[in-house]
């Protein structure tokens, strides 16, 4: 298989690194226990992301979407739609709704006007229909609560469309942590503890002068994106450059953790026992989930996005990606509603086995 051949050098390097790490007593205890391994690697990732958020937030804002954006969208699709044992109607709602939301985001490029209101209508419709198709007997109160949330989203989005979209872009970075902690792990207590710690670090960036210190001592601009220019998009109307810089740093940090949850924690949760996922195993499972054509398309997008940024404008490619990928925030909310109203964890996270 061509994929196995291409991945062979990376597999050999991984094996050597893993073997060396197992020779260290402290690392052996962490690496051979899945719960500890997931937590430890997320802590390491969060520590590096926090440091970069303080001293080089624009580097995170550019590198994250360009390098990890497409893989994390694929993970969204796999672990929220394709792998769980959903009713056929529920899966169809999530897939069709996501596709229509993606098409709507293309509207400005085609000269078809602003997409905010059609996008909101589609998103709320997907949320409601997915909830209705997933409701189980005796869980009417769960459906009622989900419909109240849908009404609230529709109202806020209709009255304040731009503010709603901005708030959603910030809040959705925490959605992955919530989905992982409440629906996709057996170690809920450790996941909740880690999630609260990550939220606390984000609050630290907002409420203290730490990000402002990093702004003066670190990298203010990366590939044409200045921290204050990023603040104009992420914190419009915020008075005071210090707070605006804190918002940028907090967003960059949480976005990076968001990617790590989907690309590390969630896939590892589905391994059998304490097993780890090799590159070949990951590629084979991805091909099985997406099919040959879907696998090829995902691979091309994963490679094509950073290549387009390298050959063109990194900032422009990043903005294009973020615009088109915004559908996945609504997908995560709708999938969360599905898991809530059904009262079940997604299959695979309940028994911690691979399909």
Locate tokens 């997931």: which residue? Answer: 38
What is the pTM assigned to this prediction? 0.91
Residues 6+ apart with CB under 8 A from 54: 205, 210, 211, 213, 214, 218, 249
pLDDT at 344: 76
pLDDT at 355: 32
pLDDT at 352: 38
Distance CA 109, CA 320 (A): 10
- Residue of 349, 355, 341 whose CA lies nearest to 261: 349
| Structure token digits, residue 338 | 């599905």
pLDDT at 247: 96
- Residue of 118, 197, 188, 121 whose CA lies nearest to 154: 121
DSSP string, 35-102: HHHHHHHHHHHHHHHHHHHHH-HHHHHHHIIIIIHHHHHHHHHIIIIISS---HHHHHHHHHHHHHHH
pLDDT tens for the 355 residues of the chain, in order: 667 777 788 778 887 887 887 778 788 888 888 888 899 999 999 999 999 999 999 999 999 999 999 999 999 999 999 988 889 999 999 999 999 999 888 876 665 666 777 889 999 999 999 999 998 766 788 999 999 999 999 999 999 988 999 999 999 999 999 999 988 888 888 899 999 999 999 999 999 999 999 999 999 999 889 999 999 999 998 888 999 999 999 999 999 999 999 999 999 888 877 777 777 888 888 889 899 899 999 999 999 999 999 998 899 999 989 988 989 999 999 999 999 998 877 766 654 333 3
pLDDT at 351: 43
User: No. of H helices and E strands in the chain?
Assistant: 17, 2
pLDDT at 217: 94
pLDDT at 114: 66
């Amino acid at each position: 298989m061509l994929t196995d051949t291409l991945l062979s050098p990376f597999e050999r390097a991984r094996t050597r690194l893993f073997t060396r790490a197992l020779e260290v007593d402290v690392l052996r205890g962490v690496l051979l226990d899945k719960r500890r391994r997931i937590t430890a690697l997320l802590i390491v990732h969060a520590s590096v992301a926090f440091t970069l958020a303080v001293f080089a937030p624009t580097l995170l804002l550019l590198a994250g979407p360009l390098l990890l954006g497409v893989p994390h969208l694929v993970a969204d699709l796999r672990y929220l739609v394709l792998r769980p044992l959903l009713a056929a109607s529920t899966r169809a709602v999530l897939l069709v709704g996501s596709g229509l939301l993606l098409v709507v985001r293309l509207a400005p490029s085609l000269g078809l006007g602003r997409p905010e209101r059609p996008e909101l209508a589609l998103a709320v419709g997907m949320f409601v229909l997915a909830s209705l198709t997933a409701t189980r007997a005796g869980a009417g109160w769960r459906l009622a609560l989900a419909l109240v949330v849908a009404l609230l989203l529709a109202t806020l989005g209709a009255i304040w469309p731009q503010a709603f979209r901005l708030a959603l872009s910030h809040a959705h970075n925490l959605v992955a942590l919530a989905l992982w902690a409440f629906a996709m792990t057996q170690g809920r207590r450790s996941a909740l503890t880690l999630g609260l710690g990550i939220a606390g670090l984000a609050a630290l960036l907002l409420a203290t002068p730490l990000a402002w210190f990093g702004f003066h001592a670190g990298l203010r601009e990366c590939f044409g994106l200045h921290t204050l220019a990023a603040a104009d998009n992420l914190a419009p109307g915020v008075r005071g450059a210090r707070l605006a810089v804190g918002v940028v740093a907090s967003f960059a940090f949480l976005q990076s953790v968001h990617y790590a949850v989907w690309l590390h924690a969630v896939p590892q949760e589905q391994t059998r026992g304490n097993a780890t996922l090799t590159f070949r195993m990951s590629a084979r499972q991805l091909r099985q989930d997406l099919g040959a054509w879907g696998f090829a398309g995902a691979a091309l997008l994963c490679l094509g996005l950073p290549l387009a940024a390298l050959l063109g404008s990194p900032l422009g490619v990043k903005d294009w990606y973020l615009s088109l990928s915004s559908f996945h925030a609504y997908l995560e909310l709708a999938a969360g509603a599905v898991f809530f109203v059904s009262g079940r964890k997604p299959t695979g996270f309940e028994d911690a086995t691979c399909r």
